Amino acid sequence: MCISVGIFSCGENKSLNSEQKIIKDTLSEPLINTNKKISADERRSIEQFVKRKGWPMTETGTGLQYSVYEPGNGEQVKSGDLVTVNFEISLLSGKVCYTSEESGEESFVVDHDHVESGLHEAMKYLRVGDKAKLIIPSHLAFGLAGDMDQIPPLSPIVYDIEVLDKISKK
Low-confidence ranges of the chain (pLDDT < 50): 1-9
**How confident is the model at residue 10, as a pLDDT?**
54
Of 84, 81, 112, 76, the closest CA to residue 100 belongs to 84
- For residue 27, what pLDDT is reported? 76
Pick the closest to residue 67 from 58, 54, 79 (CA basis): 58
Domain positions in the chain are 49-167
Identify residue 113 by its one-letter amino acid code.
D
Spatial distance between the Cα atoms of 108 and 99, rounded to a whole number of angstroms: 16
pLDDT of residue 21: 74
Q: What are the tens digits of pLDDT across the range 43-53?
A: 999 999 999 99
User: Which distant-in-sequence residues (6+ apart) come within 8 Å of 121 by Cβ?
Assistant: 60, 62, 64, 140
What is the reported pLDDT for 64?
A: 98
Q: What pLDDT was estimated at residue 90?
A: 98
What pLDDT, on a 0 to 100 scale, did the predictor assign at position 5? 44
Selecting from 3.40.50.620, 3.10.50.40, 3.40.50.300, 2.40.50.140, what CATH number does the domain 49-167 have?
Answer: 3.10.50.40
